Amino acid sequence: MSLSLVLATTALLAAEPSSLPPGHPTIPPGTQASPTGMGPGSNAANGALPPGHPTMPAGSPVAPGAPLPSGHPAVDTNKLPPSAEELMKQLDSSEGLREREKTFEIASSLGKLYYTNGRNADALAYLGQAQAKAEGLRSLFLASRKKLGKAPIATPEAANCGFTPGQALDAMESVAQSRAKSGDTAGAAACALAALAPALDVDVLRGNALYLNGDSAGALKMYARVLEVEPRHEEALYAHSSVLFETKGEDLQALKTAREGFDAMVTAHPESQRAPMARELSGRIDETVKAGGRKKWLASRAADRKVRLSQSTAQAAAMPPDAPRPLSPEMVDAVKNTERTPELEAGLAKLVEEGEEHLAHGRYQEALSNYTRVVPFQPENGRAKAGMAWALVGLGRPMGARVWSVALQSDAAAVEKLGDTLLAKGDAKGARALWEKLAQDVPDYPNKAQLEAKLSR
């Protein structure tokens, strides 16, 4: 939980019971306490501690970590900040909280709290209050940009806005308003746009919350609001196009707008994590538009799958009975789309090791089963291809000669190394047979001297 949100919540809950340690004297509202000059004759008007508070040493502040004065209630230094659930319980029990006047920062913090915890209806209420606080600034920017016409908007640094990290929105708005009143339209536009950054984030969250609540039309309006101010906004571009694609599958013009949005996002943010998916969705939309809408596109894909399936069946029937079965288009797609996680890579490596163990003990069919599970994911794995080739040779399959030839052409060194592995696992006969076949089939093998040394042992 962020400190700013904790402080915001504390401010809103000022009327709630105090969180002071048990036995601590009540502090009257508005009292400003100071650790210095707290003698018996001091009072609240002079910054005194409240009546009943233990006397503080006069003339010097209490250093951090120093022992508390005699009689001071114990303070729990191990107390953790409240959790999100605890904060929301306090907020829910605060009467009239939603109607109270709030700053943009407090309203947006509360909206984000509820949004991130799945309470979208409550999030919308507070995010709406934050949006209202930024409406004047938004209007100022749009008016200033209109006056500028096609002139580019300067950066806040070039405009010398003087904003600091975490500065309140109303303070930044005052700067932009001052620029506008002085006739500095360019400066007003630059400072207003910079100040609107947190407000645009609020609009995106409102769009997300509306979508999650089932209001896709409202969500589209929120994302469009953001793009009216900042056409390159990454999240708004992606979200707006995604909702259009999902909800307007038969509206060709809306689909074209969605494709333009994805393309614009990729152009503006090519290194974004969303860029690969945006490219893929743009291509899918292009196919959908050419097909005449989503229903026709889905129908054409279903027809294509039937054709490919029938072709695969015919090809399989024409192949020798011992030939490895080709992967179907659906299986190929599944392999391509499988995420290459460390767990998957480790599993494939284990299959290769197990395959080599099977080969060393003459279990060629079991070895072949292992390698056929690895090669689709790692087609360039020379170790796996060498193992598969030797398994087929060991089984005496007619396809073995072809696969063996491919393995030699692509990585003959991996084939030689497989012999080393077989020898290490106790299969000296198998290793020698493999090396002899390698020397026979590749007479100009680069490591021929090394291979002959192995065979002469």
Last residue of some domain: 150, 176, 195? 195
CA distance 10 to 139: 32
Positions of E strands within 182-277? none
Residue 430: inside a domain, yes or no? yes
| Mean pLDDT in residue range 148-160 | 91
- pLDDT of 207-252, one tens digit each? 999 998 889 999 999 999 999 999 999 999 999 999 999 899 899 9
More confident residue, 61 or 140: 140
Residue 269 lies in a domain: no
pLDDT band at 350 (very low <50, low <70, confident <90, very high): very high
Q: How far apart are CA 416 and CA 436, in angstroms?
A: 10
Helices (H), 117-184: 120-133, 135-148, 169-181
Residue 34 — very low, low, confident or very high, per pLDDT cuts 50/70/90? very low
Residue 146 domain boundaries: 135-195
Does residue 72 lie in a domain region? Answer: no
With bands split at pLDDT 50, 70 and 90, how would you rate the model's confidence at 372?
confident
Most confident by average pLDDT, 69-78, 304-313, 419-428: 419-428
Q: What confidence tier does 303 reach under pLDDT thresholds 50, 70, 90?
A: confident
- In the prediction, which pLDDT does 19 show? 47
Q: What is the pLDDT of residues 255-273, one digit of tens each?
A: 999 999 999 999 999 999 9
User: What angle, 0 to 180 degrees and rounded to 10, lies between the N-to-C axes of helices 382-395 and 342-360?
Assistant: 30
Look at residue 445 and tell me if it is in a domain: yes
Q: Residue 402 above 90 pLDDT?
A: no
pLDDT at 45: 40
Q: How many distinct structural domains can be found in the chain?
A: 2
- The residue from 145, 160, 195 where one domain ends is 195
Residue of higher predicted confidence among 230 and 9: 230
Range in 57-66, 380-389, 447-456 the model is least confident about: 57-66
pLDDT band at 16 (very low <50, low <70, confident <90, very high): very low
In a domain, 66, yes or no: no
Q: What is the mean pLDDT of the chain?
A: 81
Asked if residue 370 belongs to a domain, the reply is yes
The Cα 90–Cα 94 span in angstroms is 6
Joined together, the tokens standing for residue 343 give 């767990």
368 in a structural domain: yes
Per DSSP, the chain holds a count of helices (H) and strands (E) of 20, 0
Q: Is residue 416 in a domain?
A: yes
CATH number at residue 397: 1.25.40
Q: How many CB atoms lie within 10 A of CB 407?
A: 24
